Structure 1
Amino acid sequence: MRAAVLTAFGSPLTVGEVPDVEAGGGEVVVEVLATCVFPYAGEVFGGKRNYPLEPPVVPGAGCVGRIARIGRDATKLRAGDLVLCDLTVRARDDAHTPDITLQGWSSRGEGGLRLSRQWHDGSFAEFTRLPTENVYPLPASAAEDPARWATLGVYAIPYGGLLAGGLAAGETLLISGATGNLGGRAVAVGLAMGAGRVVAPGRNRAVLDRLADRFGPRVCPVGLTGEEDADRAAMSAAAGGPVDVVLDLLPPGAPSAVTRVAAMTVREYGRVVLMGGVGMLGGDDFALPYPWIMRNSITVRGQWMYPRTANTGIIRLAGSGTLDLGAERITRFGLDEVNEAVGHAAAHAGPFTSTVLMPAGTGRGSR
């Protein structure tokens, strides 16, 4: 089969023949129809993010595909099924605190690194091998545009954060980092889950305006100035009342003060979920005042990725039309264009803008 291989950090991906993959017990092989190229993929492949990938490796984070081969222990999945493939692989020998690897992308700790050596290669290939529990059936309508449904793997990340925060219908949600790739989609998911109001702070006025135009009065954009007191007051005023949940999705380069200011808009007994990359590249520590947390009974929770149930949940939201994938601006690339796709993703990193690699197809197109 053909695949794109990262042979060394800092080198372009090389497309060529690699050994075919086979399905053993508890495994499936999926023909990759569409896989998203993340905007920061070039930083990962260049070594800037210092991800614990071990070249040579076929990178790629999740996909939409068709089951080609399946282990004998599967009872419901069949060859030919159209599925969403979750890159979040969890070790099977500790249900309480499983080691995790993001297949073809990253891992957590020494146990996660060992796990990644078993589930080494990702989705930038004609076929990929996954644990059986990491594939989720899609509705038949998804076959009309697999690239659009492949974006669900991105939507699932903020969905996991909102599940962790216990967002309930009618509540007010604040998305810190709302103008980013994940943050914009968090706005869409929060509304699909029934948020009564979503406060969307950011510095990019054009993106804020687009969010307001697309989603209407339930979205309240706030232009940030960098002045902490003024920004906190503006976000609180936009909420028009108590903020129930704050979800932070700011990238590694963002200053910790921006996350802190947003977090401290939450009401007494409110919930703050941290999912972004603040502090990963150094900088000041994220410091919330102990007395404020204690006296206001604030829940602060970190969340990396999402639980398994988030996959079926996000599929249902999209399948019902509650989460509209139609507004995604998608540019498609063939496998031989993978390095062009990586560059394109970095240059087009806004919300609802997706770069999708289609290993089974050829040529470039936008829609």
Structure 2
Amino acid sequence: MVQVHTIEISPPLINASCAWASDLAQLRELYDCPYTGAVTTRTATLNGFGEDDSNTVVFAASSTSSLNSYGYSPHPLASYLSWVHTLLTTPTASGSTPSKPIIISITAASSTVLGEMLDEIQELRVRLKQIHHSNGAAGVIDPSTLVAVELNTSCPNIKGTSPPAYNFPLLLPLLDVLASTFRSDSSLTIGLKLPPYLYSTRFQEVVRDLSMYSRGVPGSEGQDTANPFAFITSTNTLGSSLFFADQTTLPSSATSSDNAPYALPTQLGGLGGEALHPLALGNVFSFAKLLGAHSDPAMRRVVIFGVGGVTSSEAVRRMYGAGAKIVGCATMLGLMGVKVFRYLTDDASD
């Protein structure tokens, strides 16, 4: 079990925010899987994101790698709030009371819209808390009503914009809103989904800027601090990547269209899976090293979710060895469905 601020994740294996966590049926399957310790939704915007046939995924023939041209979810935040409410208030497939956290992945281009989204998530958490309280002692679950928030700062496939986390100071207005929400309700667990960085000063910049949000804990006489950001997810896919059609293996609308010789209708997309794995490990390692040596106790408590090329038990172990406390996968989920989590768990126990 891994404690991530007010939520508990056990086992420490999750899905990353991705297209295979888009709707209620997919989320229900992930939630009912006994091998996931938490479920992450696909990234939602306030009103939904336009999606068409150009948004798709292809898989490599020579490795367990993927290239996708997906943007954010076509479903609005309101749909995810309704689905999360359903998942957390109805018995699981085994008949048990829901006790698995759900991480709601969101994004916004402005601080005003982000504030509105956070208000709606907080309203959901209030409703869930009221339901638990009305159930009395038998319904004691709180932590902290099983909802966390992940701000996706790093999708590489949005036309006309670059992932804001590549220019971290531009992200600060959004971080200010998250910090303000946390200071109004410190039971909210908040994280950031980050892009793959390529050189050391980027890691230093991220850690430095996040540490600015730490505040002293009342009553600790300056010995402890609290930071709004409980976790970072590292990494998202690597943008501006290209597959030719003859590099892919699985049938898809992308390879059957007239975009030959390229695999995706958009030509370029986000690279995931095995091809990303060494870079993802390096990102996890770099953040773990900086956070572990930080003088601020709150920064030392930041949990790293390692994502990128988790295709086997060896990859899971490498992520832990690099410094991740939670491990997530997406490409393998797309290839195998939820049985991948049993595969990774069984393989890891061999």
Query: Looking at CA atoms only, which structure, 1 or 2, has the larger radius of gyration?
Result: 1
Q: TM-score, normalised by structure 2?
A: 0.26
Q: TM-score, normalised by structure 1?
A: 0.25
Structure with greater helix percent: 2
